[in-house]
Amino acid sequence: MNLVDKLKKKAAWAALDYIHPGAIIGVGTGTTIFYFIEALSTIKDIIYGAVSSSNTSTSLLQKQGIQVFNLKNFNSLTIYFDSADEINHQMQMIKGGGAALTREKIIAAMSKKFVCIVDKSKIVNVLGRFPLPIEIIPMALSYVSKEIIKIGGQPKYRKNIITDNGNIIIDVYNLCIKDPISMEKKINSLPGVVTVGLFAKRRADIALIGTKSGIKVIRKMK
Ligand code: 5RP
C-alpha cells in the first residue's frame, strides 16, 4: 500500500471514535470511504445502519452486512462521513472526483455533523487546483461549458461517466477559487447544472487528517 493510501486508511479508522451506538451513519464515496466502510464493519453490531451517497458505497456496505436505508425516508441525520478532493482551512471542499457529488451534497445538507476524512495531500490554501466537478443534465453540456469559460474556467467533459442520477460530469480546470461561497452560488444558478462540487456553504464540521505522525483534527471555526 502506498503512503497516501496508508494515510487515508489511518484517518478512516480514526473516524470510528465519532460514532455513537444506535446511530444511522451517512456514508460518502471514494477510496477513503472504502477504508471507512471496512472499519465500520467492525462495529456493525452497535450501529443501526447507514444511508449511502452512491450505488458503489451501497454495495460495499451491503457486502459488509451493514443495512442500508433509503434516504427518502429521512429528513435529517446525526452524522455524515465523507472524504474530499481538496479541503481548505475554512473547511470548504471540492468534491465529486468519484462523480457522487449530488447525493453527497444532499446527505451533507441534512446532517448535523459532517466529518471529512482525508490524507494530508488534500489540504490546500486556495481551492481549485483539483478540477472542479459539475454534474449537469446532458442537453446542457454546450451551454454550461460556454458559461464556465466566461468565468475563467476550462471545462472538460468527463468521458464514459454517467452518474447514479443519469447525468454527465464536466471537470473545470484552471479556477482559482478565492470566494468559494459566491462561486458555488453562481455555478449552481446556471440552468442545466444539477450540482457543483463546491461544498462551501455547507462545509465540514470536523476534518480528520491522516499524517505520517498521526491524526490531526481540525474543527470548524464559527
Ligand atoms: C466522490 C468524492 C470523494 O470524496 C473524493 O473524490 C475523494 O475521493 P478519494 O477518497 O478516492 O480520494 O467526492 O464523489
Distances (CA, A) of 101 to 13, 45, 63, 186, 197: 23, 29, 23, 17, 6
- Both 55 and 148 in one domain: the answer is no
- Both 186 and 212 in one domain: the answer is no
- Both 167 and 66 in one domain: the answer is no
1 CB-side CA count, 13 A: 10
What pLDDT was estimated at residue 50?
98
The domain total for the chain is 2
- Both 94 and 173 in one domain: the answer is no
CATH label of the domain that carries residue 45 = 3.40.50.1360
95 CA to centre of ligand 1 in angstroms: 6
What pLDDT was estimated at residue 222?
75
- Both 106 and 51 in one domain: the answer is yes
What pLDDT was estimated at residue 176?
86
- Both 181 and 71 in one domain: the answer is no
Query: Using CA atoms, how far apart are residues 23 and 201, in angstroms rounded to an integer?
Result: 25
- Both 110 and 186 in one domain: the answer is no
Dihedral (Cα; 174, 180, 183, 187), 10-degree rounding: 90
What pLDDT was estimated at residue 2?
96
pTM of the model: 0.95
- Evaluate whether 21 touches 46 at the Cβ level (below 8 Å): yes
- Residues with CB under 6 Å of ligand 1 are 28-32, 82-85, 95-101, 104
- Both 13 and 113 in one domain: the answer is yes
Best residue among 8, 53, 95 to mutate for probing ligand 1's pocket (most ligand atoms within 8 Å of CB) is: 95
What does pLDDT average to in each consecutive run of 10 residues of the chain (222 residues)? 95 97 97 98 96 98 97 95 97 98 98 98 96 98 98 97 98 95 97 98 98 95 80
Active-site residue identified among 38, 86, 104, 184: 104
Residue 140: which domain range? 132-197
- Both 16 and 79 in one domain: the answer is yes
- Evaluate whether 147 touches 111 at the Cβ level (below 8 Å): no
Query: Using CA atoms, how far apart are residues 117 and 10, in angstroms rounded to an integer?
Result: 9
CATH label of the domain that carries residue 190 = 3.30.70.260
- Evaluate whether 95 touches 84 at the Cβ level (below 8 Å): yes
Q: Which ligand 1 atom lies nearest to the CA of residue 95?
A: 13
Look up residue 5 and give its DSSP letter: H
- Both 163 and 109 in one domain: the answer is no
Around Cβ 44, how many Cβ atoms within 10 Å?
A: 15
User: What is the phi/psi pair of residue 171, to 5°?
Assistant: -110, 130
- Both 100 and 185 in one domain: the answer is no
Q: Is 184 a catalytic residue?
A: no
Q: What is the grid cell recorded at 30?
A: 471514494
